[in-house]
């Protein structure tokens, strides 16, 4: 009983003596200047532990905040994506409008420089370039004063002529159509012939007299003979001459002045009236 009763007392004395001893050691270290060095050694593991705890706390904070921020970033990214798409669409429209303005401006200048005819501009809205037919569809028709046989051109030259006219649209037979046949004249020699459409991208000028010199790159224009088209509309240029001593006439391959596959806007000469072929009287 006595030993058990004295145990707490001994523990208190031991703690007191330990505390006194530690105090004396610290006082001695402070007096001799070694306390700062000991504190530095103790600070190293404490700093590492502090960094570890701080990193874990920040990781927990990031895990809590990230989903909310991620949702906001996704919403902002989607908004920016839609804005970029809208700007790209507007840019494409501006480029298209600029191109159309350039074409219209060129055609207007051409019409001003050639005021002998009235012209109506029309958009090309369709093509039929199958094997044996080469036609365009334009968005002008009878309500705009168009009629069959009227010439269709651009600032570069003749495209063809109207072969069918409807209320709000019309069909253009292009020069490259195999059924197209145009009375033509060479620019330098003034020799006459007939330009016919081919299945290829080139035209063929036939019935040129053999004794007339024809040169490559020579200009080919409408002759006006027959009254189907006005004279001096540009058709194209000679790319190759075909001669044979056994033939009465020579031929020339002609490159069209107008690339019909790239047409967007054309001009129709509205005040030219083709000469209608005379109809035989009854009994003739």
Question: Which of 10-14, 54-58, 60-64, 117-121 has the lowest average pLDDT?
Answer: 60-64
179 domain residue, yes or no: yes
Each residue's pLDDT tens digit, 126-152: 988 666 788 999 999 999 999 999 999
Determine, yes or no, domain membership for 252.
yes
Burial 94-123 (b: 16+ CB within 10 A, else e): eeeeeeeeebeeebeeebeeeeebebbbbe
The answer to whether residue 279 is domain-embedded is no
Instruction: Write out pLDDT tens, residues 214-241.
Output: 999 999 999 999 999 999 999 999 999 9
Q: Could you give the CA distance from residue 95 to residue 173 in angstroms, rounded to a whole number?
A: 30
Is 196 part of a structural domain of the chain? Answer: yes
Residue 127, domain member (yes or no): yes
pLDDT of amino acid 29: 59
210 located within any domain:
yes
CATH number at residue 230: 2.40.10.350
Predicted TM-score of the model (pTM): 0.66
Alpha-carbon distance of 25 to 35, in angstroms, equals: 10
Whole domain around residue 201: which residue ranges? Answer: 119-269
Question: Across residues 175-179, what is the average pLDDT?
Answer: 93
In a domain, 82, yes or no: no
Structural domain includes residue 265: yes
When divided into structural domains, the chain yields a total of: 1
Decide which of 90 and 96 is more confident: 90
């Amino acid at each position: 009983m006595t030993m058990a009763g004295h145990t707490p007392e001994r523990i208190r004395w031991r703690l007191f003596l330990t505390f006194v001893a530690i105090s004396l050691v610290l006082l001695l270290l402070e007096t001799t200047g070694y306390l700062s060095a000991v504190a530095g050694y103790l600070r190293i593991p404490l700093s590492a532990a502090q960094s570890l705890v701080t990193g874990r706390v920040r990781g927990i904070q990031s895990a809590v905040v990230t989903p909310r921020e991620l949702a906001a970033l996704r919403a902002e990214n989607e908004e920016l994506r839609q804005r970029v798409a809208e700007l790209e669409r507007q840019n494409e429209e501006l480029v298209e409008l600029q191109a159309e303005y350039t074409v219209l401006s060129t055609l207007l200048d051409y019409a001003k420089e050639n005021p002998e005819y009235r012209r109506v501009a029309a958009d090309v809205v369709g093509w039929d370039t199958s094997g044996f037919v080469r036609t365009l569809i334009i968005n002008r028709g009878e309500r705009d004063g168009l009629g069959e046989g009227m010439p269709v051109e651009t600032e570069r030259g003749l495209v063809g002529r109207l072969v069918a006219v409807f209320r709000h649209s019309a069909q253009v037979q292009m020069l490259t159509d195999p059924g197209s046949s145009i009375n033509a004249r060479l620019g330098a020699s003034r020799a006459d012939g007939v330009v016919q459409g081919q299945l290829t991208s080139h035209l063929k000028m036939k019935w040129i007299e053999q004794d007339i010199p024809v040169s490559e790159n020579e200009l080919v224009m409408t002759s006006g003979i027959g009254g189907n088209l006005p004279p001096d509309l540009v058709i194209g240029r000679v790319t190759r001459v075909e001669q044979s001593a056994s033939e009465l006439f020579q031929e020339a391959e002609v490159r069209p002045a107008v690339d019909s596959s790239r047409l967007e806007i054309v001009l129709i000469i509205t005040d030219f009236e083709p000469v209608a072929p005379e109809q035989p009287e009854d009994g003739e």
